Structure 1
Amino acid sequence: MRKPRDYDAELKALEDKARELKQRKVQQLGELLIATGADALTHDELAGALVAIAETKDAGKKEAWARRGAAWFRSKSRRSAAANDDDAGSDQTQSGGAQSPSGTTGAA
């Protein structure tokens, strides 16, 4: 005879997984804001810009933003790789993303 499924335990596991994914998403969005320097904007400015972007129907603008974002990420990864080459002992501290925002802020 088959063992009955524990639906409550499965549901709790799924809820825990969903909570973890949401926390990771929020953390990554926060890290992105800091890395791009957008954390210097007021909440109203940032919200207004995001609403304007979300409401934009112009495919050309969206493509231009996507290209600019992709270029930013490429240049960011090259800078991180160069920093790791210069200081091979800092691999552990560099990988967390905590140092990238300060590097970006210091460069501005």
Structure 2
Amino acid sequence: MAKTSSVEKNNRRRKLTGRYAAKRAALKAIVMDQKKPIEERFRAQLKLAALPRNSSKVRIRNRCEVTGRPRAYYRKLKMSRIALRGLGALGAIPGLVKSSW
């Protein structure tokens, strides 16, 4: 089980990302537009830099929904390999059969 503080910090980052997504996208569009004057693009870059760092999407870490583990994460199932194996052994995941030989 991961530290609760790490999981909560990641959840706060997700909320902040959602809150600033539209503003960040608009500023990035201005910065990337080569047809706009350099002064306007520079002002947009400064505004983008003034936004909270945790509002950036790249700061979000994929974590297991069951345990909070940050590594060995399956995106499709939103869980780690260890949680997947445990729930699969219990028969809680439809279509998953633990192999044995």
Does TM, scored on the shorter chain, surpass 0.5?
Answer: no
TM-score w.r.t. length of structure 1: 0.28
Larger % of helix: which? 1
